[in-house]
Amino acid sequence: MEIIELEKLSSARLKKYQQWDWSREILDGCPNYVFTASAAMTGHSLRRHFPEMTLVLAYFERGQMHYCHPDYELAAIVKKVIVKTQKNLDYLDGIYQEWKKAKAESEKLFYDIKTTNLISLSDEKLLELYDQFIEHFIANLGSAFFIEAFVVSKRKVTEEGFRRFLALQGKTDLFSKYYGLLTLPAEPTFLNRFAAELKKAAESPKKLQLIKKIQQKYSWIRASYGFYEPVDQEYIDKELKYLGKSGSGDHFRKLVANLTARKARIIKELKVPLVIQNQLKLMTHLTFWQDERKEMCSRSVEICSIFLDEFFRRLNIKKKHLKWMFPIEIREVFTQGIDLDKIKKRRKGCLYIQKNGNYELLAGLESKKVIAELFPADLDRDIKELSGLAASPGKVRGEVKVLLSSRQESKMNQGDILVAGMTRPDYMPLIRKAGAIVTDEGGITCHAAIVARELGIPCIVGTKGATSILKDGNEVEVDGDRGMVKIIKKA
């Protein structure tokens, strides 16, 4: 594997890209941490089942990432899964079992790496172990990345199908009340498991020992594609303070209480046809599976960080520079050193293009031009309303805070409306302050939708433009029942 560095993207290629619709996630990101996940998306383990996934673009600038897919590829995968599961509801079982086996093998490898004394290894043995980790993730954990198609594709097939069914009955107003519930897994997310275990440990006579075990077990939980931070005592104290508040976690417990029976009652009352029931079951399974996928991605970032710490110790090259190198470039650093001018150029802007297992990189001003051409700024400032998918019901008013990084927690006040490209687990401290969540991208399986339902706050996802249209200080009304954001007053 090697990265081909481009001086410019050909005009023919740019024109071709401009003809396509793109999904885009804007979040924290750096090349080293995101490489394994992005490579897995067009790697063998995924494309064996979904050859439609061929292209990923990732633009990086000063710690931010624009993660992009051609929507026609995502739509093709969604259609394929829907059609095959309609014929055979167990279609995905084989792929899931493959994923579970790979997940178990990966957890063992991650444990072995974390318990290995890396300092004692020779340079060559260290690099071999690093290569093994990268190659293993790409080769084995890609099978679950097709779920991304359901998260960010502009076509929301299952949502549209359920909405059409309700419309025929004159019950469209019930969509937000029931769709999230009917696709909610009974299993807790890893964030809920962490919170439940921490809360139980805090009430035990063996509090200190149990909390230490939890810190080790969930050491990866604060990882993002842009940075890794340990689960230190300060973080534990903040979590315990939140968990100690009256009612924390109550909404989720009520939400999943007798969930199977409640779903059955709603299905019976609405007389939901079998084809729609199967789609709802599919989304329930994908929502759970998506959480497992995010867990493994977070764990991989932790392992990347562990290796970079050891590379820094040996090479005396700052970690902040190493994060802007792709894993397949690291071996070269041991023999040739690092070109800091190249790294500085990348930090100002670089576009990573991955197609069918081939890797290209365009850095500097030319990369910015490509992104500007693909995603021109929305100049319509007279927009009064935005619409998206109603992912969690409720209606609130509040002040907008546009947060493109989870490290902007200081901007958030209690009750503010959190507006983001997408959210990830590292956004949780901000989400807990939010009166509502509004995102550019996402579907019912995305992180924002799941946690909003768990916390009982309104959420609208997939607006396609909230972060560019809404501004800090705008007063808005978020209607999670109708999927509408109304601008009351501009800042």
On whether both 342 and 431 belong to a single domain, the answer is no
3-state secondary structure the chain: CCEEEECCCCHHHHHHHHCCCEEEEEEECCHHHHHHHHHHHCCHHHHCCCCCCCEEEEEEECCEEEEEEEHHHHHHHHHHHHHHHHHCCCCCHHHHHHHHHHHHHHHHHHHHHHHCCHHHCCHHHHHHHHHHHHHHHHHHCHHHHHHHHHHHCCCCHHHHHHHHHHHHCCCHHHHHHHHHHHCCCCCCCHHHHHHHHHHHHHCCCCHHHHHHHHHHHCCCCCCCCCCCCCCCHHHHHHHHHHHCCCCCCHHHHHHHCCHHHHHHHHHHHHCCCHHHHHHHHHHHHHHHHHHHHHHHHHHHHHHHHHHHHHHHHHHCCCHHHHCCCCHHHHHHHHHHCCCHHHHHHHHHCEEEEEECCEEEEEECHHHHHHHHHHCCCCCCCCCCEEECEEEECCEEEEEEEECCCCCCHHHCCCCCEEEECCCCHHHHHHHCCCCEEEECCCCCCCHHHHHHHHHCCCEEECCCCHHHHCCCCCEEEEECCCCEEEEEECC
Domain harbouring 475, CATH code:
3.50.30.10
Give how many domains the chain has, as a whole number. 2
Q: Taking a C-beta distance cutoff of 8 angstroms, is the pair 86, 111 a contact?
A: no
In whole angstroms, give the CA distance from residue 69 to residue 152.
9
Which of 312, 345, 374 is the last residue in one of the domains?
374
Residue 260 in domain? no
What's the whole-number mean pLDDT along residues 101-115? 95
Residue 468 in domain? yes
Which of 316, 347, 374 is the last residue in one of the domains?
374
Q: Work out the mean pLDDT of the chain and round it to a whole number.
A: 91
Q: Is the pLDDT of residue 187 over 90?
A: no
On whether both 13 and 142 belong to a single domain, the answer is yes
Integer-rounded Cα radius of gyration of the chain:
22
What's the whole-number mean pLDDT along residues 109-129? 97
Per-residue confidence (pLDDT) for residue 251, from 0 to 100:
67
On whether both 18 and 101 belong to a single domain, the answer is yes
Residue 35 in domain? yes
On whether both 15 and 125 belong to a single domain, the answer is yes
Q: Is the pLDDT of residue 246 over 80?
A: no
Residue 161 in domain? no
On whether both 41 and 73 belong to a single domain, the answer is yes
Residue 171 in domain? no
Q: Is the pLDDT of residue 384 over 90?
A: no
Which of 331, 349, 374 is the last residue in one of the domains?
374
Say how many CA atoms lie within 13 Å of 58 toward its Cβ: 30
Give the range of the structural domain holding residue 474, as residue numbers without chain letter: 385-489
Of the candidates 430, 402, 405, 426, which has an alpha carbon nearest to the alpha carbon of residue 415?
430
Residue 84 in domain? yes
Per-residue confidence (pLDDT) for residue 455, from 0 to 100:
87
On whether both 11 and 142 belong to a single domain, the answer is yes
On whether both 83 and 127 belong to a single domain, the answer is yes
Residue 304 in domain? yes
On whether both 360 and 471 belong to a single domain, the answer is no
Q: Which pLDDT tens digit goes with each residue over 412-423?
A: 999 999 999 989
On whether both 438 and 317 belong to a single domain, the answer is no
On whether both 27 and 123 belong to a single domain, the answer is yes
One-letter identity of residue 186: A
Q: Which pLDDT tens digit goes with each residue over 43-94?
A: 777 888 888 889 999 999 988 899 999 999 999 999 999 999 988 888 899 9
Q: Which pLDDT tens digit goes with each residue over 298-326?
A: 999 999 999 999 999 999 999 999 999 99
On whether both 399 and 347 belong to a single domain, the answer is no
Q: Taking a C-beta distance cutoff of 8 angstroms, is the pair 127, 327 a contact?
A: no
On whether both 361 and 410 belong to a single domain, the answer is no
Residue 32 in domain? yes
Per-residue confidence (pLDDT) for residue 380, from 0 to 100:
52
In whole angstroms, give the CA distance from residue 337 to residue 348.
21
